Structure 1
Amino acid sequence: MIFQKRVIPRLMTKYELIATTPMGLEAILSRELKALGYEEQLVENGRVTFYGTEKDICIANMWLRTAGRILVKMGEFEALTFDDLFEGTKALDWPNWIPLDGEFPVDGRSHKSQLSSVPACQGIVKKAIVEKMKERYDIEWFQETGPRYVAEVTLLNDIATLTLDTTGSGLHKRGYRVDTTEAPLRESLAAAMILLSRWRPERPLYDPFCGSGTILIEAALIGLNIAPGLHRRYNSEDWPNLPPELWEEAREEAFDLMREDTPMNIVGTDIDADAIKAALANVRNAGLSKEIKLNVIPVADIRPDGDYGCMITNPPYGERIGTASEVDLLTKQLGNAAKQLRNWSHFIITPDKTFETRFGRKADKKRKLFNGQIECTYYQYFGPLPPR
């Protein structure tokens, strides 16, 4: 990722921010944040805490490929009782963010905490925010017809963390997907698979089970240095704290950093003609028809062009697509195809614990990842790097 932040002549406040991510992707998200210049971090399960201004909220939402949401951390405190939760929440400066007409629903989660009833905790937090807002605005009723501010209370080991969600619809929803196959890969996971591989734009990339084209599209976005959230909207675009000019500046910078003239060899195939039709629609919607080639070909017949390429793929799982015997045959055919590509690298995600036996080779490296709620293994086979 190539990124250089411009100096904005505006007085801004630094906030504690949280980028959420699926389990297993924390280290990748941390590297993404460091590439954007956010060195001071705290990496925890499912999240990375960092620090930034209002402008950085725009940048993080627009650029992070493996994040789920960007949250403003409002506060954190011990909450053993509902009184603790109420008083701790009320002490936070909610009116600094939420205007008089703001809509502020409350989400909640609780794990290993005495306050285990999530609906009750949500109700207490909502009541506390209302009381704080009454003090600031001197009214008794809030119509909540304005911008949306989703507050969340997360209780872990009796510690309550209160946040505001700046993102809205999850960051994996880039906006290019107009058609899907039966079991589409989440965009953020596809991006993580690419970032974990050794792929670079000068190397061929091939996906023999391309489905609706997610891996291919995410690779092209990375290769062209296109911010994944460039063409979507966020809840916080309507917030007074993040005026339109901040978003305009972030988008202008993102357009300036695109590398549209980067030549790439990105190809996807699938035996399912409907899948290729869906992939074509998504590729066109993403504006990447020049960069990505698609065709209907069974895995037994694939013949990728080029040397030192990367095969990155999400084959059928059996429990979601196809029978166990079909998956067994496809895995063996994939292994046979990989043997013919002697100077290629191969990266395959699957929940199949016997994959290496069927594929015919032990992986050089394995990593546990989650595709939605399905626990998977990312099998990594490293071929030689291209000669300098």
Structure 2
Amino acid sequence: MANEWDLIVTTAMGLESVAADELRKLGYNSLTVENGRITFPAQAIDICRTNLWLRTADRIRLKVGAFRAITFDSLFEQTKALPWAEILPENAAFPVTGKSHKSILHSVPDCQAIVKKAIVESLKQHYHKEWFTEDGPQYKIQIALEKDVATLSIDTSGDGLHKRGYRQLHNLAPLKETLASAMILLSRWTPDRPFADPFCGSGTIPIEAAMIGQNIAPGFNRSFVSENWPLFQADEWGRARAEADDLANYNQPLNIIGSDIDHKMIELSEHNAREAGFSGLITFKQMQVADFTTRQESGCLIGNPPYGQRMGDLQQIEGICRDLGQLFKKYDTWSFYLISSFEEFETSFGRKATKKRKLYNGRIRTDYYQYFGRKHPQKEASQPVE
């Protein structure tokens, strides 16, 4: 493999800056941040590290090339000229997917077929073969056209990075693990502070908090499609996993509580926490939000209350928001972070948020309401990220 390639980190809209901050903390600084993606130069080992460590990214893609293409001939010739044989082994399986936006070449099936044919021709010249079995490792290639610029990339992740491996079972309106992590990272919660989620559902937010608190790489317990690629040196994935294991702090004490009004959700949360390796480390309780009590100071409450589109009626949602507002008054050293599409959230809560941030929960446009608690005189509470 070449010494250096560009990697494309894809994200949900609104999470680009959070993922970019993650990348900087991993030591990557030459970042180009655009809508829904971040591009940066990297080496093979960085494919391993970013897949293992990024909490808020959707996928890691290996960029093969980008160029302007307004004719099918141009698309074919420029695709053929890219260094496919440096990446694809002789027996590679390489299906091609595509998308086109505001481009002259708008027929996605035609673009896919042309890219496939161009790659085959390139490999023929290198391997001196007329036929390829495609029975080896998978390299899922994407042709993405945006305003007549074609970007060709290969998915290195396989399943989306939100699939950590612990949540085989979930509730009817699950919050993606990547969004849950983003909510926690934006709060700047640290594991020395108490943490609560009063709408825990299948346990995603508390489990992601535990992974962050103990610095456990979110991809540590899953596999990736690129692990089967021969372009890596024999020990690169092993070295990346060993590094992740060394950096984890499995002995870090955690004070994390998840609660839900539905006892079935508590059973589901406990099951998922066991799958994630946090059995006994996270406390789950059945109770409604109004019954939340604590004697601890400077905690962090993060939650995903019902929106109305999927569950609950308007009156119920207004009542929940009022209950949350009352809790914030009662526990004024705690900071509250709540995601909702309910437009009257602040009115029902009883006050304007200290800060508001637009996020997308799937296709639902939401606001992330952030209420900063009063600083405890003996303990400075961490301030959220801008």
TM-score of the superposition, structure 1-length normalised? 0.95
Identity %: 52
Q: Within 2, Cα distance between the matches of 1:354 and 1:384?
A: 24
1:21 aligns with 2:11: yes
Q: Does 1:285 align with 2:259?
A: no
Quote how far apart the aligned CAs of 1:244 are. Answer: 4.2
Name the CA distance, whole Å, in 2 between partners of 1:325 and 1:126.
Answer: 54
Pick the aligned partner of 1:200 from 190, 197, 200. 190
Q: Is the 8 A contact 1:23 1:370 kept in 2?
A: yes
Within the candidate set 214, 232, 257, 1:224 is matched to 214
- 1:130-279 aligned at under 5 Å gives the runs 130-279=120-269
Shift of 1:339: 1.9
SS in 1 for 2:200: coil
Superposed CA deviations along residues 279-324 of structure 1, whole A, max 9, x for unmatched, are: 0010000011232100100112111341100110001111111222
Secondary structure, aligned partner of 1:162: strand
Do the aligned residues in 1 keep the contact of 2:2 with 2:86 (CA within 8 Å)? no
How far residue 12 of structure 1 moved from its aligned partner, in angstroms, is 6.9
Which is further off, 136-145 or 67-76?
A: 136-145
| Displacement after TM superposition at 1:138 (Å) | 1.7
2:59 is aligned with 1:105: no
**AA at the equivalent of 1:157:** K
What letter is aligned with 1:221? M
Matched with 1:318 is 308
Cα distance change, pair 290–243 in 1 and its aligned pair in 2 (3 A): farther
CA shift for structure 1 position 178: 2.4
Query: Aligned partners of 2:62 and 2:333: how far apart in 1?
Result: 46
Residue in structure 2 matched with residue 329 of structure 1 by the alignment: 319
CA positional deviation for 1:359: 1.0
SS at match of 2:235: helix
Q: For the structure 1 residues 385 and 94, does the alpha-carbon distance in structure 2 shift closer, same or farther, using more than 3 Å as the test?
A: farther
Q: 2:119 aligns with which of 116, 129, 138?
A: 129
1:337 Cα offset (Å): 2.0
Instruction: Extract unaligned runs of 5+ from structure 2.
Output: 381-386
Distance 1:86 1:12, change over 3 A: closer
Once the two structures are TM-superposed, the CA of residue 139 in structure 1 deviates from its matched residue by 1.8
RMSD: 1.3
Distance verdict in 2 for CA 1:264–1:155, change over 3 Å: same
1:9-33 alpha-carbon deviations (Å, 9 max, x no partner): xx97111111111110111111111
- The residue that corresponds to 1:73 in the other structure is 63
Q: CA deviation at 1:134?
A: 1.3
Give the TM-score taking structure 2 as reference length.
0.96
Q: Is the 8 A contact 1:237 1:243 kept in 2?
A: no
Is the 8 Å Cα contact of residues 307 and 340 (structure 2) preserved in structure 1? yes
Q: Is the 8 A contact 2:60 2:157 kept in 1?
A: yes
Partner of 2:366: 376
Whether the 8 Å CA contact 1:209–1:268 is kept in 2: the answer is: yes
Q: Give CA deviations for 1:154-206 in whole Å, capped at 9, x if unaligned.
A: 11110001101111111111101122011110000000000000311111110
Unaligned runs of 5+ in 1: 1-10
Offset, 1:384: 3.1
Q: Distance in 2 between matches of 1:228 and 1:352?
A: 30
Listed one character per residue, the Cα deviations across residues 262-294 of structure 1 (whole Å, up to 9, x for unaligned) are: 112100100011111110010000011232100
* Deviating 4+ runs (over 4 angstroms): none
Other-structure match for 2:384:
none
Note if contact 1:61-1:70 (Cα within 8 Å) is conserved in structure 2.
yes
Corresponding residue number in structure 2 for 1:49: 39
Q: C-alpha displacement at 1:133, in angstroms?
A: 1.2
Return the offset for 1:234: 0.5
CA distance in 2, matches of 1:243, 1:266: 40
